[in-house]
Amino acid sequence: MLAYCNSDELWLYFFMKGWKNIKAKDFRTPAIVLAAIIVLFYVFNNIIMPRYVQQEKTTTVPGVIGRPVDEAIKLLADAGLVGKKSDTRTDKQYPEGTVVVQNPAAGTVVKFGRGVYLTVSGGEPMVNVPSLRGRSLRDATFALERFGLVLGNARYEVSEEYPQGTIIDQDTPENTIVPAGRVITVIVSQGKSADQLPVPDVIRKSFSEAERIIIQAGLRIGNITYQINTELLPNTVIEQFPKAGELVPSSRAIDLVVAQRGEKPTDIQN
């Protein structure tokens, strides 16, 4: 039993044991009486009173959320409290090893020596990147969402292997472990090179001639925007999208900017 006692408790135990062995007649000796008074004063002042005062003393719980757990425990100890790590959970906001929850909360008034339970961040949740090759953009979007990931921008390339509209490659390889929320960009097949048609050059041609050339190339006219231009004849093509020479799928729409009559606004002089 004595093995579980602290130094003060041991001192008090041996004092009481010795006290029982003192006979009543011994108190007739002034030295014994004086020694007994001194011992009683020591026990009362250093053992009994501190325990009583400590039980009644209160302190305010400091805020330790966002602090490294070791630092948080030290801060709590300085306030007369005992920090206890109770749980670990993933968290996007707080770095790994920092406190995300404390109980009791900061500002709570508690008894001196009270335990404060700390939940510690395990860092960002990590997920496994799925394979997107051969999927459509729609399927890839759903697949990534199931893993907490996001589909980014798509780049298009000619492919002899993958059908038009399916994903050829991805910037982050499959089975890579990444933080949740990561954006995954992909390359999408435009189809085989035989299915691609070069865009003809129709800049500075009349609209009617440009329309004929585009249709003969297996493509079609898209959006037409008119822009005032005093240097070219009306209905002359100023710009085209896509640019001449680009390979595009058959029946792709070609957008044109066409000149129209009118005067450009002049600068106003103050």
For residue 71, give both structure tokens. 């630092």
What local confidence, expressed as pLDDT, does residue 144 receive?
A: 95
Identical fold at 59-121 and 196-260? yes
- Give the architecture (CATH level 2) of 196-260: 2-Layer Sandwich (3.30)
Least Cα distance to 240 among 200, 208, 212, 213 occurs for: 200
Domain layout of the chain by residue ranges: 8-56, 59-121, 126-191, 196-260
Nearest to 131 by CA among 168, 96, 180, 84: 168
Q: Residue 8's pLDDT is what? A: 55
**Sign of the torsion formed by the C-alpha atoms of 132, 136, 137 and 140:** negative
Cα angle 182, 183, 189 (rounded to 5 degrees) comes to 140
Cα→Cα distances 208→11, 199, 202, 213, Å: 111, 17, 10, 9
118 close to 102: Cβ distance less than 8 angstroms: yes
One pLDDT digit (tens) per residue for the chain, 270 residues? 544 455 555 455 555 555 555 555 454 566 666 666 776 777 666 666 666 555 568 899 999 999 999 999 999 999 999 999 999 998 888 999 999 999 999 999 999 999 999 999 998 889 999 999 999 999 999 999 999 999 998 888 888 889 888 999 999 999 999 998 999 999 998 877 767 788 999 999 999 999 999 998 889 999 999 999 989 999 999 999 999 988 888 778 999 999 998 764 443 343
pLDDT score for 60? 93
Coil vs helix vs strand at 49: helix
pLDDT, position 22:
52
What is 126-191's CATH number?
A: 3.30.10.20
Per-residue confidence (pLDDT) for residue 49, from 0 to 100: 60
Residue 267: what pLDDT?
39
Classify 59-121 by CATH class: alpha beta
Query: What's the Cα-to-Cα distance from 93 to each of 62, 65, 69, 97, 116, rounded to whole Å?
Result: 21, 11, 15, 12, 22
